Amino acid sequence: MMKFRRIFSVAIMISMLAAYFALPASADAATDNALYNFESGTQSFFVDGGAANGTVAKSSEQAFAGASSLKVNFNVPIGSASKGINVGVANPNLIIGATYAMHVYIPSGANIKAMLPYVMDNTWSWVNSYYDVAPMVKDGWNTVKLTIPAKQGNGTTDYKTPLNQVGIQFLVDTGGYTGSAYIDSITLESVPVAPPSPASLSSLKIDGAPVIGFDANKTAYVAHVPNDAASAAVTAAAVDPAASVSISGDGSLAVGENNVAVTVTAPTETKVYTVKVIRGLPANQGNRISIQGREFYANHERIWFNGANTPWDKWNDFGGAFNYAFWDTHFQQLHDNGVNASRVWITSNGEVGIDIDENGHVAGATAAHWNDLDSLFYLAQKHGVYIMATLMSFDHMKDSHPNYTSWRNMLASDANIDSYVNNYVIPFVNRYKANPYLWSIDFMNEPDWVYEDAHDGNFPWERLQTLFAKESVAVHTNSQVLTTAGLAMVKYNSDTCDPVTKGCKGNMVGDAPLMAAAGGNPLAKLDFWSGHYYDWMGQYWGNPLYTTPALFGMTDDRPSVIGETAAIGTQGHTLTDDIASAYENGWQGIFPWTSNGVDGLGNLTNVGPAASAFRDAHPELVFPVGLAHDANLSDLQVDGATVAGFAADTPSYSVEVPNSTTSVDVFAAVEEAHATVAVTGGVDLTVGDQNTVTLVVTAEDGVTTKTYTITIKRAKSSNANLSDLKVNGATLDGFSADTHSYSMLVPLGTASVAVTATAADDKAIFAVTGGTKLVNGENTVTVVVTAEDGTKQTYTITVNRAKSSNALLNDLKVNGQTIAGFASGSFNYTLDVPNGTTLVTVTAAVSDPKARKVSVRNDNKLVVGANEITVRVTAEDGTKQYYTIIVNRAKSSNASLSGLKVGGKAVEGFAPDQFAYTVQAASNAKSAKVSAAAADKTASVIIIGANKLMDGDNPYTVLVIAQDGTRLTYTVHVVRAPSVPKK
């Protein structure tokens, strides 16, 4: 807001009689803590009309409290007609409906007929009280009062804040007056509070937290919940226990505004409280503002700020007398008239909203402040109006405001600046940075006056640079929100403006001083320039709207906007001309003062037509599409292949994949490059058609969406393989899923094996057959695996149980009799048999019936002497064991003869057991040949006897010696008859 405001006065006199109090001149002179105490100066009070009517000054001559008062020196010449002299202050921050007490000292002899405490709202609607001076105490203090009305004089229109002026009109009587009077200690006396009615609430809560600003007598509230809060529970309790409370409209929340009604029914009355529960809009509803070169962009489309100043509805709206309906309606009106941005004062003079102590330390902000700002930014997003948030003004430092010392103390101290940045600026940024309609932060309205004007502190630029540098670093560190400072005069905003002819001092908010103030931090810079222009400036620096920013003196490395200029147009131009020229000359936006008529420099009737004309000429710049609405796909692929039958307007598809596919790679191409796709599903696929891939395409506008679905049909598994095969808990040697036959050995005596298997696919089943009642040798175990789709695979294990190696006998017989001394583990035997035994029968019984073979060698045709008979036992496994029997066949003892001959003729009567014989030989026998045949061929025969016969007995001895030496002697007597002599 420009420093010097054109004032249009409309006086409407309303007489009010009120009680007045007379106080003696010796009133309490203790420290004066009043709103206006005049201890440090005049606090910007002035005499309307200037010195021609009088002057004001701080004076210690009289004091109602403290040490000083405001001395009013009248300059109404003697003989003048009756005249009203207004002594007041501009832009007071007073409470609607409150009563203020003003203390006035009237010297005796003062030609003052009456006093009229008065107030004027921002439409200059006048309201006053009336006090007759005649009955007042002279040379003493009197109290007069003024109640700030809620309505204008017509009784129907709200009194408009901020107030333009408050003060006392002194009615000088006919004859003039050049003396003085004194004003002191203007204080807030009372704020009317009505007692709660029986149908009032004692508490009102949302989700357990008290509604911000709850008061039993206040029936309308606005509350905010985040966008992700789909429901809210409203609870309430009545003051009167007999009253009932019913609540409607809570529970599920739509995005945006939800009206909840709380009806309190008491025995005598009913009262309805309303809570507008606002579920925040999605953060992507809107285009984020950025800078490309010297231009602004709404996402990827250029935007030109066809703006307006809507600095306040009621002075210090946020945390003060915020009016939701005004901002809701006005933002809609702005948008309808082509206004796409508004410059709003977040705190007008820092009197409400921010918690700052008298030492200048900022602790944070009130809950009401945040709640009202939540509403502001919600409404901005709702209506598509970008906000340049002006955080403070030179008004914070102005000595006419009650807490100016706190703000001066803040600016004077680095530590206090840090408290403001850390405890207010950063929370502000973090709270609203997700809302794209907070496009920029204006750190201070017209800081020039804080430097130039003693009433605003006369601070050196270094203090302001420190503040702006710290704020810039904080904002840039925590967000993408753009930064600026709304300087009143280009002489402090330019390094090229001529210091000689134009009095320019350099760019006090340029990069170099701000970065220096931040220790060289490159984040300490303003993103764009936001200079102000009013006609009084033209004589010094020209009208910037009709030249380029660079020629006006702004650096050409970033965008420049006109942050303020009169909505009624600059001298000789209409606002429509001003806007068009600013655009043609390269300014990137203009914010006329104001859209809602806070003073006489214009309102929506001025702004609307001009803004509409520019919008109609450049619709794409004022409301750029920015964000496309196309949520179509141009291609849809599964595992690299376009889905069969794909078309952008077909939302559902089906794709078959083999069982081995457990996840699919889904690729989607969007028609519009800035759309985004969120894919869910496609992993951990189950068999069958219960796999859904969902693709939600969100257009760039963040609102338009389209959903595509793909049903993935995964085939049943044909995997009939095993992943493991174990016998008795141990995996088979050489196991592989692709090897289907195995062989293994188990020891003799193993009765069974435990075969376990693990299917490669958990949907497959298997059956094991065999493995019990093992026999020696080969035993077959089969594992039949049946896949999910019925495919079968058989694994075979040949279990070779070891054959018996038992080649022992448990009996060994010769001729049916167990051989003497037989034992299984004795393998050599001896058996004596008589000589007559020429054949023995050897039989053997094996210990193991599985023994394969028993063979006997040399068990016939015994020879005399040792005969080795071998019994070979072959065990089941081929092991051989030999048993040996030495059969000793005795030598023959047969010494008998089987035949005995003499002379070739058998001896008559021969018998083997007859041992003596007599044989008659012829007398002429000359010899007798005795021969004998042994009964046993192994026996030897010795015949002893003469070869020649002799007459008579010729004995022959036949000695038979048996094989074993047994001797038998046979005797043969050959008797030759004597020969007869021949005659």
Angle of helix 604-617 versus helix 575-584 axis, rounded to 10: 40
Percent of the chain residues topping a pLDDT of 70 = 96
Pick the CATH number of 809-889 from 1.10.10, 2.40.50, 2.60.40, 3.30.450: 2.60.40
State residue 548's pLDDT score.
97
Nearest Cα to 652, choosing from 695, 714, 687, 684? 695
Residue 811: which of 859, 886, 876, 883 has the closest Cα? 883
Locate all alpha helices (DSSP H) within 413-548, ordered by sequence.
414-420, 426-432, 448-452, 461-478, 511-517, 535-541
Q: What is the pLDDT of residue 220?
A: 95
For the stretch 370-405, pLDDT in tens is 999 999 999 999 999 999 999 999 999 998 787 899
Q: Give tens-digit pLDDT for 396-442.
A: 999 878 789 999 999 999 999 999 999 999 999 999 999 999 999 99
In this prediction, residues 494-515 reach a mean pLDDT of 95
pLDDT at 651 over 70: yes
Q: Rounded to two decimals, what is the model's pTM?
A: 0.57
Structure tokens at 896: 């008998």
Can you list the positions of beta strands (E) in 802-914?
809-814, 817-818, 828-833, 842-846, 853-857, 865-874, 880-889, 897-902, 905-906
pLDDT at 250 over 90: no
| Fold designation for 897-976 | Immunoglobulin-like (2.60.40)
Q: Where in the chain is the domain with CATH 3.20.20.80?
A: 289-622
H or E element in which residue 851 lies? none
Residue 923: which H helix or E strand, with range?
none
Q: At what angle do helices 461-478 and 404-412 cross, to 10 degrees?
A: 80
pLDDT exceeds cutoff 80 at 8: no
CA 453 to each of CA 4, 398, 538, 599, 714: distance values in angstroms, whole numbers, following the listed order: 12, 9, 20, 22, 80
pLDDT of residue 347: 97
Cα-based distances in Å from 572 to 543, 546, 568, 578: 11, 12, 11, 10
* Least confident residue range of 346-355, 582-591, 626-635, 734-743: 626-635
Q: From the CB of residue 275, how many other CB atoms can be counted at a distance below 10 Å?
A: 26
d(Cα 476, Cα 491) in Å, to the nearest integer? 26
Give the CATH fold of the 201-279 domain.
Immunoglobulin-like (2.60.40)
pLDDT tens readout for residues 920-978: 988 888 888 899 999 988 899 999 998 888 889 999 999 999 999 999 999 999 999 88
Strand partners, 706: 697
R_g over Cα of the chain:
66
Tell me which of 2.70.70, 2.60.40, 2.40.160, 2.40.50 is the CATH number of domain 633-714: 2.60.40
Question: How many whole angstroms separate alpha carbon 897 and alpha carbon 970?
Answer: 9
Q: What is the pLDDT of residue 31?
A: 58
**Could you give the residue range(s) of every CATH 2.60.120.260 domain in the chain?**
45-190
* Domain 45-190 bears CATH identifier 3.30.70.3280: no
Check residue 615 and give its pLDDT.
Answer: 97
Phi, psi values for residue 468, rounded to 5°: -65, -35
For 895-910, write each residue's pLDDT tens digit: 999 999 998 899 999 9
Q: Across all residues in the chain, what is the average pLDDT? A: 92
pLDDT greater than 60 at residue 272: yes
Cis peptide before 162 (omega within 30 of 0): yes
Residue 12 phi, psi dihedral angles, 5° rounding: -125, 110
Q: Mean pLDDT across the stretch 469-489?
A: 98
Question: pLDDT digit string (tens) for 100-109?
Answer: 999 999 999 9
Q: Is 478 helix (H, G, I), strand (E, B) or coil?
A: helix
- CATH 2.60.40 maps onto the chain at 201-279, 633-714, 809-889, 897-976
Residue 982, pLDDT score: 60
**Integer angstrom CA distances of residue 581 from 548, 549, 608, 875, 938:** 9, 12, 17, 121, 161
**Rounded-to-integer distance, Cα 505 and Cα 516, Å:** 18
CB atoms within 10 A of CB 233: 11
CATH architecture observed for domain 289-622: Alpha-Beta Barrel (3.20)
User: Which of 34-43, 330-339, 805-814 has maximum average pLDDT?
Assistant: 330-339
Query: What is the model's pLDDT at position 18?
Result: 29
**Least confident range of 357-366, 515-524, 939-948:** 939-948
Other C-beta atoms closer than 10 Å to the C-beta of 981 total 5
